[in-house]
Amino acid sequence: MTTSDYCDSVLTTRTTRTVGRRSVLIAVAVTTGTACLGLLQAAPARAADPEVTIEAGGDLVEVATADGAVVQVPTVLGGLLSVGSAPLPEGTEVRVTWDPRLYEANPAPVLTVDGEALECSYSNAPSGTAPSTPSSAPAQATVVLGEALPQGRSYLLCLGSTRSLTYPQDTVEAPEGTSITVSLPAGPAQAQQEAQASGTQTTELWGASVGAGWQMLTWGEGYHVWYPGSVTLRSAGPAPVPAGSRLTVQADAQVLASLVLGQGADAVTAVTVGTVLSATYTTPGLTEGQMLTLPVTVEARDLDGPLDHLEPTVVTVSSPEAARTQRSTGWESVSRADDAYDEATRLRYGVG
């Protein structure tokens, strides 16, 4: 073999090996790339986690506190759940903790959207539902969603509402806030609803109660209706009943021909409004514990036999201009439910 032939042979061999290695590398690279692309195409996209924002639901109601301040709390025990990113799945739990002195829970929770009721239930019965003297220890309940909640909508969850706090049990010492926690895959969503200052002091609140000295008007065989021979307005304090408050007596016009509230120059003669006689007396201011008593004079119509219907006699007090600072006594209105004006009520309530 000549030198030239040897060199040609070596060069040829090297060239062949070089090309072979490149071919292998290229093949491996192409194969690997194809495999990775296949893996990328096969891997499913990760679903977005649901997001929830929680706001107070309903209007606000004012509550007097023992430290002299009046605070505002939501009327609804629960909140507005706004769902974003992804649906809130069925089985999601919502835990609510509240002050049982402020709120009373319903036997079953209610979940609505645009007037439509959705499935939900308690996983445990609410604690502190209706004690005669509510404890300051927090009450709690957990609500479980019975169906998924689509994203992009707001859902009102209601477990109950504020208690009807009446004088003198309408002052709460150090009211606690309401806590709402929604369980989510990425971690719980939480909100705390704290009582907000109203800018009003307890000393600015006023309350009033009315009473009546009932008398019976009878006719026929055991028929009768009750009417007030006098009415009394009492100031519950601490602020005075505002001057200009309205003390009103209403009675059925088919039973009474006339009604006069008060006496002397301040007496008010009732006017006919539809089927009732109505007399409204404008009161002076009354300080805490002070009472105002007014006589009621009536003229009865001649009646014989049963009546088709009866407008009940009602005594009320109101002061629309000062309603925001009015505390509830539960006696802002009084009436009677034992009139005997037709056969059914005569058999039930009739006398003689």
Instruction: Please state, in angstroms and rounded to a whole number, the distance separating the CA atoms of residues 137 and 97.
Output: 10
Predicted local distance difference test score (pLDDT) of residue 49: 82
Q: Which of 249, 297, 296, 292 is nearest to 271 (CA)?
A: 249
Residue type, 290: Q
Using an 8 Å Cβ cutoff, are 86 and 48 in contact? yes
Using an 8 Å Cβ cutoff, are 248 and 282 in contact? no
151 Cβ neighbours under 8 A, 6+ residues apart: 50, 83, 84, 85, 86, 87, 88
Beta bridge partners of 216: 226
b/e sequence 304-331, b meaning 16+ C-beta within 10 Å: eebbeebbebbbbbbbeebeebbbebeb
Q: DSSP for 5-49?
A: HHHHHHHHHHHHHHHHHHHHHHHHHHHHHHHHHHHHHHSPPPPPP
SS (H, E, C) 209-271: EEEEEEEEEEECCCEEEEEEEEEEEEECCCCCECCCCEEEEEEECCCEEEEEECCHHHCEECE
At the top level of CATH, which class does the domain 51-202 belong to? mainly beta
Predicted local distance difference test score (pLDDT) of residue 47: 61
Using an 8 Å Cβ cutoff, are 296 and 214 in contact? no
Predicted local distance difference test score (pLDDT) of residue 125: 83
Radius of gyration of the chain (CA): 38
Helix (H, G, I), strand (E, B) or coil at 3: helix
Domain boundaries, the chain: 51-202, 208-349
CATH topology of domain 208-349: Immunoglobulin-like (2.60.40)
In the block, tokens 């009492």 appear at 234
Predicted local distance difference test score (pLDDT) of residue 5: 42
> What DSSP character marks residue 151?
T
Predicted local distance difference test score (pLDDT) of residue 240: 98
101 Cβ neighbours under 8 A, 6+ residues apart: 134, 135, 136, 163, 172, 175
- CA-to-CA separations, 276 to 109, 153, 254, 341, 347, in angstroms, rounded: 41, 48, 8, 16, 25
Q: Which of 32, 330, 15 is nearest to 164 (CA)?
A: 330
Predicted local distance difference test score (pLDDT) of residue 58: 82
Task: State the CB neighbour count (10 A cutoff) for residue 90.
Answer: 12
Question: Which tokens is 263 given?
Answer: 């006496």
Predicted local distance difference test score (pLDDT) of residue 135: 67
Taking the chain (352 residues) in consecutive chunks of 10 residues, what is each chunk's mean pLDDT? 38 37 37 41 60 90 92 96 94 96 95 96 80 74 97 96 90 93 93 93 96 96 96 97 98 98 97 97 98 98 95 97 94 97 92 66
Stated as kind and residue range, the H or E segment containing 344 is helix 343-349
Predicted local distance difference test score (pLDDT) of residue 270: 98
Give, in degrees to the nearest 5, the angle at Cα 20 between 15 and 22. Answer: 100
Helix (H, G, I), strand (E, B) or coil at 56: coil
Domains 51-202 and 208-349 belong to one CATH topology: yes
Beta bridge partners of 156: 80, 112
